[in-house]
Structure 1
Amino acid sequence: MSQIHTLTMPKWGLSMTEGRVDAWLKEEGQAISKGDEVMDVETDKISSSVEAPFSGMLRRQIARQDETLAVGALLGIVVEGEASEAEIDAVVEQFQASFVPGDGAEEDLGPKPQKVELDGRTIRYFERGSGGIPLLLVHGFGGDLNNWLFNHEVLAAGRRVIALDLPGHGESSKALQRGDLDELSAVLLDLLDHLDIPLAHLVGHSMGGAVSLNAARLAPRRVCSLTLIGSAGLGQEINGDYLRGFVEASNRNALKAPLMQLFSDAELVNRQMLEDMLKYKRLEGVDDALRQLSVSLFTDGRQQADLRAVVQQGERPVLVIWGDADAIIPARHSQGLNARVEILPGQAHMVQMEAAEQVNRLILDFVQTL
């Protein structure tokens, strides 16, 4: 029995409305498997690859190189089994006749951000999926929940997944009290309480890894597992020049050099990314929050928290993911850990964005075996 599948423009993150086709990675007539990268697409945030949600043969490339299309628009046709050209023509004609860009239907595919008051401050979060032990995504220094825009939907297949903006970041309250890990971890645990989640898998990137490690130290019975991506808290070294440059930057030119250190492909640091980051940095309270965190956690370019013992005690499974070209926190901090360690060749600090497919598969394989 044959099936004709429509491959459509995905929605990555809350603000994505369209994408530009950079290149097809598969040719017409080529067999593809579920999860294969089929084409590269550029958005106003970052470039990434569209993965096939099904297996079959790519029978028709609808979208053309350099064409900009709305979220949900038809990119191509994949057929499982046999189908005539006339049958494919009919599916394409019906899709194009009924598709209305921006009619709101595609918005239903995206997570809905929510805000909650926790201990006198506003915390933004969003969640997708249901079932299983929930998974909480914790971003790093200067980031926000959009750092997970290539991970959240995939990880939420059959599982409840939540991402948050830590205090001082995103759309959460900017004011900090002490600006230490205990304060940030307490917010994380308070959010789990609010969402009535007694036990969670924590996935932390960079500073978010240290926040997750510290949450496991403070409330060990609340944390089922830890996934640490380019994590702080596992060694002393950190790129102090990056931190100073990022905190002090007040224009695009000053901000570009620090941000380029985050990625293995420096071209990802485009004008829109710089504008978005500057817009965030100019919000009231952000400058004070970033400086407070930098001084408290990374004094003089040295990490102040040593949380390796949380891993070494072996109270819960730990997955460590690192890019071997990480210029912010060295991958050698993963050595000697009582954990499953995965080093991704050629990848930099934002590995969950640049190597999203690999990272997603590692995380899913890890939590599904627990």
Structure 2
Amino acid sequence: MSNTQIIPIVMPKWGLEMREGTVQDWLVKEGERIAVGQAIVDVETDKISNAVEAADAGLLRRIVGQSGELLPVKSLLAVMAEPEVADADIDAYIAAFEVPDAGADDEDSGPAFDHAEVDGIRVRFARRGPDEGVPVLFIHGFGGDLNNWLFNLDAVAERHPVIALDLPGHGGSDARLPGTSLPALAGFVARFLDQAGVPGRLHMVGHSMGGAIALQLALDAPGRVASLALVSPAGLGQEINTGYTDGFVQAQSRRELKPVLEQLFADPALVSRQMVDDMLKYKRLDGIEPLLGELGAALFAAGRQSTVLAERLQALDKPLLVFWGEDDQVIPAAQAANAGPQAEVIRFAGTGHMAMLEKAGEVNAALLKHLARAG
């Protein structure tokens, strides 16, 4: 029997640093027919949990990865095959399956991260996807880094060149700021693009503070921006939960930080111990806490956003897609209405401030359609 009739389901690689994942709960049973895009198994990484979605349709014949197993990326999780495929052929396929060398694969695709120096600030960034086409730039939010897009970058990079950066004072970039206003941050991103060899038009995807930066750049340099896709963006209204931003800056321990991070998600169980530990490690870097305090005070003082761009959006002749979680505890979902009549707005029930993580499949599908229309 030919192995082409047997379809493997493997441990995905989410993000640039994932090496392994833990199988949690199977959402389907052996003997069940699976549709493309169907959630089939929950997997926990050291960043967050997510559901693996079926890339192919078929009949689930054998579950290989059992709940609780920690498995390397590309390990065999399950096998799909039609009824006429003999059990013995499936047994032989599983026995012969070898996990590809993930390290060699990474080497072929180049280093996970690159760096550029902009205004004397060293910026960490990543590239993925084809060389041709209009690039897509991902900008994270306050206190985040490019790993906030771990479920989105590879999905978009299948069709478009992708760039994601760590803003100054975030992630692997230097703990220095080019200024604390939206125009200063947007100007820095524009100069980063020049330094990274992206001088022309690009699509911009921004989350929270990163969404406001993307909006500001589109308003300041409209010729550079082909389209905008924003996830719970700042910049569309005055209200913001500074209990979150201030709490994030001030938290000194796991006990203090965990309830702050839980405000990001509709399901607080998504905040893993590793996520808390990673955030504490970042906050304890020299200069980070005062830098975040300065940035938060400038942009989000006294429970209000200092810069609201909504009234200027009528002059923005760009395709605009906005995602918002109905249960966003950081920036109210009602501000989506301020995106204007030209915007396509998608609101998710049971979702908080991190829709790109909480509803990754839906966000990716809508984002790819938006990018295809925008050209």
TM-score w.r.t. the length of structure 1 is: 0.95
Q: Which position in structure 2 is the counterpart of 1:368? A: 372
Does the alignment pair 1:204 with 2:206? yes
Distance verdict in 2 for CA 1:45–1:107, change over 3 Å: farther
How many residues are treated as equivalent by the alignment? 368
Q: Distance in 2 between matches of 1:81 and 1:110?
A: 41
Q: Which residue in 2 is equivalent to 1:120? A: 120
> Is residue 2:159 matched to residue 1:155?
no
Structure 1 residue corresponding to 2:327, chosen from 325, 328, 344? 325
Q: How does 1:234-273 map to 2 (within 5 A)?
A: 234-273=236-275
Contact 1:33 1:52 in 2 (8 A): yes
Stretches of structure 1 lacking an aligned partner (at least 5 in a row) = none
- Take 1:119 and 1:207, find their aligned partners in 2: how far apart are those partners? 21
Q: Which residue matches 1:335?
A: 337
Distance 1:102 1:228, change over 3 A: closer
1:250 Cα deviation from its structure 2 partner: 1.1
Deviation at 1:284, TM superposition (A): 1.1
**Cα distance, 1:103 vs structure 2:** 5.5
Asked if the contact 1:13/1:110 (under 8 Å) is kept, the reply is: no
Distance 1:75 1:251 in 2: 37
Cα drift, residue 100 of structure 1: 6.7
Please report how far the alpha carbon of residue 13 of structure 1 lies from its aligned counterpart in structure 2 after TM superposition.
Answer: 2.3
Partner of 1:179: 180
> Is 1:229–2:231 an aligned residue pair?
yes
Q: Give the drift of 1:80.
A: 6.0
For residues 124-174 of structure 1, give each alpha carbon's deviation from its aligned partner in whole angstroms, at most 9, with x where no partner exists. 110111132111111000000000001111111121111110011001111
Give the superposition deviation at 1:114: 0.7
Whichever residue aligns with residue 351 of structure 2, its letter is Q
In 2: Cα distance, 1:245 partner to 1:143 partner: 14
Work out the CA distance in 2 between the residues paired with 1:351 and 1:60: 32
Matching residue of 1:33: 35
Specify whether residues 32 and 311 from structure 1 end up closer, same or farther in structure 2 by C-alpha distance, changes over 3 A only: farther
- Between the aligned partners of 2:103 and 2:179, the Cα distance in structure 1 is 45
TM-superposed deviation, 1:361 = 1.0
Does the aligned pair in 1 maintain the 2:245–2:296 contact within 8 Å?
yes
Which region of structure 1 is more displaced relative to structure 2, 141-150 or 113-122? Answer: 113-122
Q: Distance in 2 between matches of 1:206 and 1:50?
A: 26
Distance between the aligned counterparts of 1:263 and 1:8, measured in 2?
A: 27
1:256-299 deviation line (CA, Å, top 9, x unaligned)? 11111001110111211111000000111211220111111111
User: What CA deviation, in whole Å up to 9, does each residue of 1:205-224 have, x standing for no partner?
Assistant: 00000000001111111001
How far apart, in 1, do the equivalents of 2:114 and 2:255 lie? Answer: 33
- For 1:187 and 1:32, how far apart are their aligned partners in 2? 46
Instruction: Give the secondary structure class of the aligned counterpart of 2:223.
Output: helix
**Paired letter, 2:113:** P
Say which SS state the counterpart of residue 113 (structure 2) adopts.
strand
Q: Which amino acid aligns with 1:358?
A: E
Instruction: Determine the C-alpha separation between the residues in 2 that align with 1:121 and 1:185.
Output: 15
Contact 1:26-1:38 within 8 A present in 2 as well: yes
1:132/1:3 CA distance change after superposition, 3 Å? farther
Query: Per-residue deviation at 1:60?
Result: 1.1
Greater Cα offset, 182-191 or 288-297: 182-191
CA distance in 2, matches of 1:151, 1:115: 21
CA distance in 1 between partners of 2:263 and 2:277 (Å):
17
**In the alignment, which residue of structure 1 is the partner of 2:62?**
60
Residue identity in the other structure for 1:132: G
Contact 1:14–1:111 (CA under 8 A) maintained in structure 2: no
The question of 1:311 aligning with 2:313 is answered yes
Alpha-carbon spacing, 1:294–1:61, altered in 2? closer, same or farther (3 Å): same
- Matched residues in 2 for 1:28 and 1:197: separation? 51
Instruction: Look up the equivalent residue of 2:153 and give its one-letter code.
Output: H
| 2:261 match: secondary structure | helix
Distance 1:217 1:208 in 2: 14
Partners of 2:234 and 2:305 within 8 A in 1: yes
Label 1:361 to 1:21 Cα distance change in 2 as closer, same or farther (>3 A): same
RMSD: 1.9
**Native 8 Å contact 2:218 2:224 kept in 1:** yes
Task: Encode CA deviations 1:199-252: one digit per residue, 9 max, x unaligned.
Answer: 111010000000000011111110011111100000000001111111111111
- What's the TM-score, normalizing by structure 2? 0.93
| Residues 26, 40 of structure 2: 8 Å contact kept | yes
How far apart, CA to CA, are the structure 2 residues paired with 1:110 and 1:239? 40
Instruction: After TM superposition, give the deviation of residue 61 of structure 1 in Å.
Output: 0.6
Q: Does 305-314 or 24-33 show the bigger shift?
A: 305-314
Q: Give the alignment partner of residue 349 of structure 2, picking from 340, 345, 352.
A: 345
Matched, 1:358 2:362: yes
Partner in structure 1 of residue 48 of structure 2: 46
Report if the CA contact (8 A) 1:14-1:110 is conserved. Answer: no
1:166 matched to 2:167? The reply is yes
